[in-house]
Chain A
Amino acid sequence: MAVVATKRDYSLIGRDTKLAEEKGLASAQWYSCSVPRKELKAMMKRSDWPALRDTAIWFASFFVSGGLGYYFWGTWWAVPCFFVYGVLYGSSTDSRWHECGHGTAFKTRWMNDVVYHIACFMILREPTIWRWSHTRHHTDTIIVGRDPEIAAPRPPDVAGLLSNLFALKSGGRALSRIFLHATGRLAEDEKTFVPDMERWKVYAVARIWVAIFAAVVVACLYFRSILPAMYIGLPSFYGAFMVIFFGLTQHAGLAEDVLDHRLNSRTVYMNPIFRFLYWNMNYHVEHHMFPMVPYHALPRLHDAIKADCPRPYRSTIEAYREIIPAILRQCKDPNYFVKRELPSGAKAVPYNHDAVIVAAE
């Protein structure tokens, strides 16, 4: 099968949007591993307890690291304190935003909403915009022209990815969008996935956030210190590096335009600290295939379906041994991707299977 190289158009209002629809990739049927209903129902079951425990630890960690940062302010001891505070604020909020946005962290709905909004603010992801954007990501995962959350489009912008270790590019974009929304307007791509009836929420929240940022700036000027901003605002940048570190393991370097999460997502075994920060999002194949399963049940789901999935990565190091060369190769050859091997006997979604076999040779 001949592969014709064309420049991809990742925008949601471009050529590849129409192509994806014409090829039947938009809002399509995806492969799903077979899990008996009773077993899946047990895994989907919601509980407040795990998230209450983890959120209590999370908040306590903020207070301890932030408190120590204040105590040691002016000395070098403040650096590790704000390092921890920053990672909690600017990185672990990614998983809290994600899980609570799905409504699966807690059984009680309002608890999900409270943590969701706190996490959104800290990681500069506007709650309504990203709820709808993430909905589209789950409908059309890594479908070019449809998925607004493709972290490493091809050819990869390596400088951009590196700058996002401190959210320089993403954070700058987020702030400009927040200010746009505060004026009562949406960007053109946002109009494609945020329904009319939801837009007032975007504008209202943006205005609240701008007011908070203004208050922090005033506080810094009043106290003649950046310390207020070290607690609110700056950690979205100086603490953001784990977002990229974890986030690229999800899909970077894998297939695009396939209807099988086993081929475009990774499951990576991680240590307990990483899994606390990441709230088990390292079980990414499982999460995409069954988004109703809460984070605390994902390891169980992994055990239930792993025989029908590619081998998981044993560590983030192993994942990055694949990701970094793949991204670098894609800089020169944007058609390259890593083909995940399905176990023998596993069913592959028939659509686009030929394209998967041809590439990554």
Chain B
Amino acid sequence: MSESWVDACAADDVDAEDVIRFDRDGRTFAIYRTDDDRYFATDGWCTHEQAHLADGLVMDTIIECPKHNGRFDFTTGQAKGAPVCVDLQTYPVKVEGGRVFIQVG
């Protein structure tokens, strides 16, 4: 396995249609699981203001920031409307042996 792949969590640590926080080496991420068991990862901080997306609400493939209800599509990182204007950084994810790995690079 490439060194840039990091073991983030157990697949079952994330509920369906939910998100959890993962921190590593001073960086913070949000790990998502959709209703149909697909996993995604983005930067943890909202690009609008300092609020962690792991405290937000997942609706289908949208993450809503808990601070101002700004929304992103977490599968692409795209900002979906004010007050969020800057896209989220996303990271490749794979699930192996019941574990979620993200490629932080």
Interface, chain A (partner B; CB < 8 A)? 27, 29, 38, 41, 44-46, 102-104, 107, 128, 131-132, 135, 138-139, 195, 197-198, 290-292
The residue that A291 contacts in the complex, of B48, B59, B67, B82, with Cβ under 8 A, is: B67
How far, in angstroms, from A38 to B14 measured CA to CA in the complex? Answer: 12
Q: Which residue of B lies closest to A102 (CB)?
A: B69
Report yes or no: B69 in contact with A131, Cβ–Cβ below 8 A.
no
Q: Which residues of B contact A103 (CB under 8 A)?
A: 64, 69, 71
Report yes or no: A139 in contact with B49, Cβ–Cβ below 8 A.
yes
The smallest C-beta distance from B33 to any residue of chain A, in angstroms, reads 13
Classify the secondary structure of B's interface with A. Answer: loop
**Given A27-B50, A46-B59, A292-B57: A139 and B68 within 8 A (CB)?**
yes
Map CB proximity to A onto B74-96 as digits: 1 under 8 Å, 0 otherwise.
00000000110100000000000
The smallest C-beta distance from A197 to any residue of chain B, in angstroms, reads 6
The residue that B68 contacts in the complex, of A38, A195, A291, with Cβ under 8 A, is: A291
The smallest C-beta distance from A35 to any residue of chain B, in angstroms, reads 10
Q: Which residues of B contact A44 (CB under 8 A)?
A: 57
Tell me, yes or no, whether B43 is within 8 Å of chain A by CB. Answer: no
The smallest C-beta distance from A137 to any residue of chain B, in angstroms, reads 10
**Given A44-B57, A46-B59, A107-B59: A198 and B49 within 8 A (CB)?**
no
Map CB proximity to A onto B49-72 as digits: 1 under 8 Å, 0 otherwise.
110000011010000101111010
Report yes or no: A132 in contact with B83, Cβ–Cβ below 8 A.
yes
Interface, chain B (partner A; CB < 8 A)? 15, 18, 48-50, 56-57, 59, 64, 66-69, 71, 82-83, 85
Q: Which residues of B contact A41 (CB under 8 A)?
A: 18, 57
The smallest C-beta distance from A272 to any residue of chain B, in angstroms, reads 26
The residue that B67 contacts in the complex, of A38, A138, A195, A198, with Cβ under 8 A, is: A138
Interchain residue pairs A-B with the least CB separation, the first 6? A44-B57, A135-B83, A103-B69, A135-B68, A102-B69, A292-B57
How far, in angstroms, from A327 to B62 measured CA to CA in the complex? Answer: 43
| Interchain Cβ contacts under 8 Å between A and B, 18 examples | A27-B49, A29-B50, A41-B18, A45-B57, A46-B57, A103-B69, A104-B69, A131-B82, A131-B83, A132-B82, A135-B82, A135-B83, A139-B68, A197-B85, A198-B82, A291-B66, A291-B68, A292-B57
The smallest C-beta distance from B68 to any residue of chain A, in angstroms, reads 5
The residue that A139 contacts in the complex, of B64, B67, B82, B85, with Cβ under 8 A, is: B67
Most A CB contacts (10 A, CB to CB) among B49, B64, B68, B71 go to B68
Report yes or no: B59 in contact with A290, Cβ–Cβ below 8 A.
no
